[in-house]
Amino acid sequence: MTEYRMSQPPIDPIALFSAWYREAEAAEPVNPSAMTLATATPEGRPSARLVLLKGHDADGFVFYTNLNSAKSGELDANPHAALCFYWKSLARQVRIEGRVEPVSAADADAYFASRARGSKIGAWASDQSQPLESREVLEQRAQKFEAKFPGEDIPRPPFWSGYRVVPERIEFWTERGDRMHDRQLFERTADGAWRQSELYP
């Protein structure tokens, strides 16, 4: 497995994340892309949920959602978030904190086009985070949009897009015996470089 110690030459944390993520894709039996997304209201009331990572590079970590959802409302009001990956099979965790920005319409269109038809219908049918009278109502809404888009390309809903978490802090955690875990922290400096340090477990 890819390991990194502070005694080694400096490394790009995005490259290190990419290496860990490839290993998680090979080792984690269910959804290695699952990450906890933590948001907060302007008053500081936090909330968290699992979402799926749909892309990452030097610009940040991308996920998609309904723009009318609770998480979107919190991000629009307070555009900062934290992500947490935990890969039990590798005994690893990655924590990411940073500001949040919307993805471009072109990026959202491209990702939506790659989704399975059922997922596209689901995006149209779900009034995400709003009260649901019954499961039957949701199924009826799905049938309505199935009929609206018969055998044709399904456009991206105007209320569905994505966000990019632009990292300011990235922490790599590796489990060790006797709770002597490794914690490697990377913090973005004013000039855009990464400052590295180790943390007590």
pLDDT in tens, 163-174: 999 999 999 999
pLDDT band at 9 (very low <50, low <70, confident <90, very high): low
Range of the domain at 178: 13-105+161-198
Residue 129 in any domain: the answer is no
Q: Which of 65, 159, 66, 152 is nearest to 117 (CA)?
A: 152
We report the CATH number of the domain holding residue 30 as: 2.30.110.10
Span of 16-30, 62-76, 78-92, 145-159 with lowest mean pLDDT: 145-159
Total structural domains in the chain?
Answer: 1
* Residue 196 pLDDT: 94
Q: What is the pLDDT of residues 74-112, one digit of tens each?
A: 999 999 999 999 999 999 999 999 999 999 999 999 999
Task: Determine, yes or no, domain membership for 113.
Answer: no
Say if 65 falls within a structural domain.
Answer: yes
Question: What is the distance of C-alpha 200 from the center of its chain?
Answer: 26
Which class for 58: exposed (0-12), middle (13-18), buried (19 or more C-beta within 10 A)? exposed
Q: Establish if 173 belongs to a structural domain.
A: yes
Tell whether 146 is covered by a domain. no
- Rounded to two decimals, the pTM is 0.92
Task: Find out whether 53 and 67 touch, Cβ atoms under 8 Å.
Answer: no
134 in a domain, yes or no?
no
Percent of the chain with pLDDT over 90: 90
In a domain, 142, yes or no: no
Estimate the share of the chain in helix, then strand, then coil, as percent rounded to the nearest 5: 30, 35, 35
Place of tokens 């044709």: 152
Report which of 73, 97, 99, 71 is spatially closest to residue 85, judged by C-alpha positions.
Answer: 97
148 lies in some domain: no
